[in-house]
């Protein structure tokens, strides 16, 4: 199979030929039809995440947003069949640890991260474990292009806004950073009848946020995090009920924190880069006197896919609408380089593999 391979950090990927790994008895091989280029891939390429214990060994094969068709299953697989159209959560789980048994597979103690513990999704095939758990079947109306987004960014935003933010209709949601996760969060919060304020430094991303349902947009260019917070407070009559950091920089965290009204909830969905390596200050006294909450959000537990896929099937949610460019396996470096300059809008998805 053709695979895009990282042989050095921040250097061009090479497309190489590798054998397709046979599935374990509980596993499956999936023919990839669509595979997203996510900022977490960019983080790996940038040699980030080492402070989380994810030291990428080179050569590496990243990519973790996969939509495809089951090509082969192991002898112990029961519910997944050859020909099923599926997506695979980026947190491939064992199904047996205490977190998995509690329905929180996104926190699996033995998680398999594509690109780290197995070959990733920028390839013609991926081989997954525990296929009955990790292959999520797509309802008929949901295409594999949508499924790619459902492997990471869209489902991450869904869990962040709906479960961790616990947004209620009529409440204000502020979204800081209108990249893939951010635009997804805007669309999802608006579909949940929240009033959405989107914040970014680029007008074309704010324009896309308005298309996705934001009722107000704020260009943060040249503003301090405190000033951005005040503009959000002015736009929302006192502050957001829920505010999401969809990027993961110190300034986006502080913008978001400063956007909250009393008893507001900050949701951290973005991961930081090497500048901060995860170390960001927290205005602790404001947390206390305003009774704020700061919660983290990672992925989306497998059982929560049913309601998410139902909303996509009924066209209440439109992940594919955020796909702005379909690319070839040979083009991933170009996309990553443009992500360094924040020069991509929405999702860029590999749909040409040969
Ligand atoms: Zn587990
Ligand atoms: Zn991702």
Compute, in angstroms, the gap from residue 113 CA to the centroid of ligand 1.
12
CB atoms closer than 10 angstroms to residue 287 = 15
Across the range 114-136, mean pLDDT stands at 96
Average pLDDT estimate for 133-156: 95
State the pLDDT at residue 320: 95
Q: Which ligand neighbours the alpha carbon of 148 most closely?
A: 2
Measured from the Cβ of residue 247, the count of other Cβ atoms closer than 10 Å reads 26
Rounded to whole angstroms, the Cα distance separating 4 from 61 reads 6
Question: How many whole angstroms separate alpha carbon 181 and alpha carbon 251?
Answer: 17
| Ligand having the closest approach to the CA of 63 | 2
Task: Provide the pairing of β-strand 136-137 with 125-128.
Answer: unpaired
Domain boundaries, the chain: 2-152+300-352, 154-296
Residues at Cβ < 5 Å from ligand 2 ion = 38, 40, 152
Cis peptide before 59 (omega within 30 of 0): yes
Nearest ligand, CA 115: 2
User: For residue 130, what is the enclosing H or E element?
Assistant: none
pLDDT (average), residues 238-259:
98
Over residues 40-68, mean pLDDT: 92
pLDDT band at 193 (very low <50, low <70, confident <90, very high): very high
Q: What's the gap in Å between 4 CA and the centre of ligand 1? A: 28
State in Å: Cα 132 to ligand 1 middle: 14
Ligand nearest to the CA of 270: 2
Q: Is the pLDDT of residue 53 over 90?
A: no
* Distance from the alpha carbon of residue 11 to the mean position of ligand 1, in angstroms: 34
Q: Fill in the DSSP letter of residue 132.
A: H
271: which DSSP letter? -
Question: May I ask the CATH class of domain 154-296?
Answer: alpha beta
- Biggest distance spanned by C-alpha atoms of the chain: 60
Q: Is residue 54 scored above 90 in pLDDT?
A: no
Distance 5 CA to ligand 1 centre (A): 28
**Where are the extended beta strands (E) located within the chain?**
2-5, 14-17, 28-36, 66-73, 85-88, 125-128, 136-137, 172-176, 195-200, 216-219, 240-245, 260-268, 293-296, 323-328, 347-352
Burial (CB < 10 A; 0-12, 13-18, 19+), residue 25, is exposed
User: pLDDT value at position 274?
Assistant: 87
pLDDT for 276-325, tens place per residue?
A: 999 999 999 999 999 999 999 999 999 999 999 999 999 999 999 999 99
**Domain spanning 2-152+300-352: CATH superfamily:** Medium-chain alcohol dehydrogenases, catalytic domain (3.90.180.10)
Whether 163 shows a pLDDT value over 90: the answer reads yes
pLDDT tens digits for 93-105?
Answer: 999 999 999 999 9
Ligand nearest to the CA of 96: 1
Mean pLDDT rounded to a whole number for the chain: 96
φ, ψ of residue 27 to 5 degrees: the values are -105, -175
Q: Quick one: which ligand is closest to 39's CA?
A: 2
The pLDDT value given to residue 149: 87
State percent of the chain over pLDDT 70.
Answer: 100
**Reported confidence tier of residue 50, pLDDT bands at 50, 70, 90:** confident
Residue 338, judged by CB atoms within 10 A of its CB (0-12, 13-18, 19+), counts as middle
Name, in order, each residue with C-beta under 8 angstroms of 116's C-beta and a sequence gap of 6 or more. Answer: 54, 56, 60
């Amino acid at each position: 199979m053709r695979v895009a391979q990282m042989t050095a950090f921040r250097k061009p990927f090479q497309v190489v030929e590798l054998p397709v790994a046979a599935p374990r008895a509980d596993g499956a091989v999936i023919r990839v039809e669509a595979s997203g280029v996510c900022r977490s891939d960019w983080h790996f390429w940038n040699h980030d995440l080492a402070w989380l214990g994810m030291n990428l060994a080179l050569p590496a094969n990243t990519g973790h947003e996969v939509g495809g068709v089951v090509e082969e299953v192991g002898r112990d697989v029961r519910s997944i069949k050859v020909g099923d159209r599926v997506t695979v959560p980026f947190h491939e789980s064992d199904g047996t640890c205490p977190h998995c048994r509690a329905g929180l597979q996104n926190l699996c103690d033995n998680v398999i991260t594509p690109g780290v513990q197995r070959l990733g999704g920028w390839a013609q095939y991926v081989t997954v474990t525990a296929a009955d758990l990790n292959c999520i079947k797509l309802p008929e109306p949901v295409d594999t292009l949508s499924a790619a987004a459902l492997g990471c960014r869209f489902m991450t935003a869904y869990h962040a806004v709906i479960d961790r933010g616990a947004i209620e209709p009529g409440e204000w949601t502020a979204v800081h950073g209108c990249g893939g996760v951010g635009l997804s969060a805007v669309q999802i919060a608006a579909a949940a009848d929240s009033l959405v304020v989107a914040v970014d430094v680029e007008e074309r991303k704010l324009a896309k946020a308005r298309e996705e349902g934001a009722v107000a947009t704020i260009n943060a260019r040249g503003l301090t995090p405190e000033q951005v917070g005040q503009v959000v407070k002015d736009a929302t009559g006192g502050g957001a009920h829920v505010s999401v950091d969809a990027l993961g920089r110190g300034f986006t965290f502080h913008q978001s924190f400063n956007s909250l009204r009393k008893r507001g909830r900050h949701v951290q969905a973005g991961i930081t880069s090497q500048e901060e390596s995860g170390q960001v200050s927290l205005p602790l006294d404001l947390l206390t006197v305003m009774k704020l909450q700061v919660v983290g959000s990672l992925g989306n537990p497998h059982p929560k896919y049913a309601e998410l896929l139902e909303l996509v099937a009924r066209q209440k949610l439109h992940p594919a609408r955020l796909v702005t460019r379909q690319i070839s396996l040979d083009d991933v470096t170009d996309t990553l380089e443009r992500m360094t300059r924040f020069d991509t809008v929405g999702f860029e998805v590999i749909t040409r593999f040969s």
